[in-house]
Chain A
């Protein structure tokens, strides 16, 4: 039994310690929001935050997680109203949607570090692949969420 903390909950997992976190989340814990896209850390569909850092969960074995806090797309908000989620819906960002959980989790990590990112900041931080071509809207969504978060902080 391994214990890990996901989205604020401590959970016990019966899995080979070498199992990549992605498959622990999806197949053992039923958190299917994080997606399998390439299995080699290149596409970003499986992006989660580990202690606030955006990482490809397919490249992180279970036993490397330790006591770190894992956050998946399911942990962004309780009722789907994170500023990024709201911006994504308002701007109709997703097409097929498969890559968007990874996009959102990566964007959330970016905004935590850089509350007012430039286009260049977004280019550098957002390395996720979207085959449908939603990049223009992902960029707009990040700017919109950043503005909404700034307005909230002021108020």
Chain B
């Protein structure tokens, strides 16, 4: 192992080693070098170049379908100048090294596209560049020529004057002994040949299409047990009794394990997610068996009694929704205030508008139900898990077992859909809590679809009342939003995101105020594809549409007028693009209409930040109220683009996610429990429901940022549809999901 080369400006050190003839590149934090890691001197491994030229990139970013693994490998390949067909990506295992050396410190909080870029890009580029330079030096030493004469391209080193060639793998071992006085500088983005230039498909596609991809559900270990899980149907309730004797003799039954929230747990480091209310230990019973189906059959037959706790007071959905809407009738805690909104609302003249909105609890419904595997021995805990938050998962394994970090190993698997559900890590906690009761055996804990849906960490229920007084020019002179929601202060998220941080509330009106009320309801919430933004974009964009109608102005013209003072040309460009492309303004048959919505996720009120998306929806509503979405035109501005097809895939997915959320999704409550358990009760769009979707790149401004695409489209789809329903029927729809509202017209 060579001494580390300092990399001052990036605060981490490149370390190299030769393992079995391969060049291995690792990273260590520069500031931690003198602090002497207690666990291991070995750095975390990021890259391996084998003698056969195979390039393996170890990715610390969870892969949930957003292409994060591929993206990380692309960064390495850009600087490494290797043949893409030789590149493989593997999940980096979480060990104490990964925690203690903080080599992954910048990238363990990632779970979205944004963090894949901001968290990993520099480190991955540097790893590629540092490997390439060592390979060039090794080739120069081999031929005894100046390194300046060596060109690295497509996994081949060429001596330019003589044309001699060496594949990377042939000098990989020698490159591990190369010491560079200084790590190479990164190419300026203008010289990139892959990033922004070439669209590569996901590296995981091959295993997905031949069935060999390993999701959490697919991990198989010798001597493993399966556990079928049941938690209190009313969240927060407690197990009163169960009767193991009733199922003891059923085939394949091993045991029953109980998880008690009050049992001792151990001090461990925390993250915001491991401290969240939604992560607290829950009361549970699990039947363990030789096979999952046997365990599930036995669980279904197990007599169980629960004390539902205080959550049972919420008897009906109407009771809860009414409570939320009423909470918006009185002032809440002021979270943002500009000018003198309350006085200006009461000023004489103009038109006053007031409307109330509601968005219900929604479940993530990841196609892979919640699950995970753990094995706890006398001195070690090992976890195999489809998690979005490896660091939180790691700490929770410590908290549940009391083991120090060097006795913990986490193997992140591919993730069968996440959308924020696998951020909280309540699933990881439960898996370890059960496995520790059956030492020495790997236990695969599986939530049934019903259990996954009943034990969600849901998109928050939110009610809002918006009030505006429009001036003579039709623009709001004063604008007030009162929001009441569940988990607004106890959950994770930004409860006013997509509302308070819009240009409407920041620059379009001289007097704006946002107030918040938290509803103490037992149902747990968590991030869901654009936390709070997905509700707030609906609320704001529907209300602005109402203001446009009151001002007798075309909805796109009205928005452009309000955005005139906003220092980000991307917004107007998105609106102009969808206006041009969607056939906006062209006549439609009776019962059909177009509507618009626009919102930004990730910018948090800063111009030229995050991603802005505008949508025009075209709908048809039958007189009896059947809704068909015929066409969606989507324009977006994320700044700049690294992988065009990956961007397109995320916008397609986000658009259809927003469509499903707005058309279909809404959980109901009975005696404190979530009623819906499976797809017959919580419908999903299928192939036949998918409208024509046109995604336009014309609004991409080229501003120097690479903002994320997963969450942003989820915001504007719903309001665009609601506003299109108004255009078609004259009815304002102020609640989602639309298919549960009365859309009939005459």
Contacts and interface: CB of A to CB of B under 8 A. Distances in A.
B201 A27 contact: no
Nearest to A44: B686
Given A36-B217, A37-B449, A97 B687 contact: no
Contacts of A95: 65-67, 649, 653
Interface string A114-138: 0000000011101111111111111
B88 to A, nearest CB: 15
A34 B217 CA distance: 11
Interface in A8-60: 15-16, 19-20, 23, 26-28, 30-40, 42-43, 45
Contacts of A15: 291
A80 B213 CA distance: 13
Interface string B504-532: 00000000000000000000000000000
Nearest to B252: A16
A74 B210 contact: yes
A131 B210 contact: no
A4 interface: no
A40 B679 CA distance: 9
Contacts of B680: 40, 42
B270 interface: no
A16 B251 contact: yes
A35 B212 CA distance: 11
B491 interface: no
B369 A33 contact: no
Nearest to B419: A131
B367 A129 contact: yes
A130 B205 contact: no
B582 interface: no
A92 B643 CA distance: 12
The 9 A-B residue pairs with the shortest CB-CB distance, nearest first, are A33-B211, A96-B65, A133-B656, A98-B416, A97-B208, A95-B65, A73-B211, A123-B688, A92-B201
Contacts of A93: 205
Contacts, number: 183
Contact of A135 (B292, B446, B687): B687
A7 B23 CA distance: 40
5 contacts: A33-B212, A35-B215, A89-B209, A98-B416, A139-B690
A31 B657 contact: no
A76 interface: yes
A122 B687 CA distance: 8
A52 to B, nearest CB: 18
A43 B448 CA distance: 13
Chain B: interface residue count, which band?
35 or more
Contacts of B291: 15, 19, 23, 27-28
Interface in A82-105: 84-85, 88-90, 92-101, 104
Interface string B679-720: 110001111101001000000000000000000000000000
Contacts of A31: 211
Nearest to A42: B679
B65 A94 contact: yes
Nearest to A73: B211
B10 interface: no
Interface residues of A, number: 61
Contacts of A122: 687
Given A28-B291, A133-B653, A94 B205 contact: yes
Given A43-B679, A80-B206, A127 B369 contact: no
A101 B356 CA distance: 44
Contact of A128 (B218, B649, B660, B686): B686
Contact of B684 (A94, A123, A129): A129
Contact of B204 (A74, A94, A128, A138): A94
A109 to B, nearest CB: 15
B417 interface: yes
Contact of A38 (B199, B449, B660, B688): B449
Contacts of B202: 92, 94
Contacts of B416: 35, 96-98
Interface in B278-295: 291-294
B391 interface: no
A85 B417 contact: no
B686 A129 contact: yes
Contact of B205 (A27, A42, A89): A89
A36 to B, nearest CB: 6
Contact of B367 (A23, A35, A123): A35
B292 A23 contact: yes
A72 B368 CA distance: 18
Interface in B378-437: 414-419
Nearest to A122: B687
Given A38-B678, A73-B211, 18 more contacts: A16-B293, A23-B293, A27-B293, A35-B215, A37-B369, A37-B449, A39-B678, A40-B449, A43-B367, A73-B210, A92-B199, A92-B645, A126-B687, A129-B684, A131-B657, A132-B653, A134-B649, A134-B653
B449 A16 contact: no
Nearest to B224: A27
B653 to A, nearest CB: 4
A135 B252 CA distance: 39
B366 interface: yes
A73 B687 CA distance: 20
A124 B689 CA distance: 11
Nearest to B658: A133
B33 to A, nearest CB: 38
Contact of B649 (A32, A88, A137): A137
Contacts of B687: 122-123, 126-128, 135, 138-139
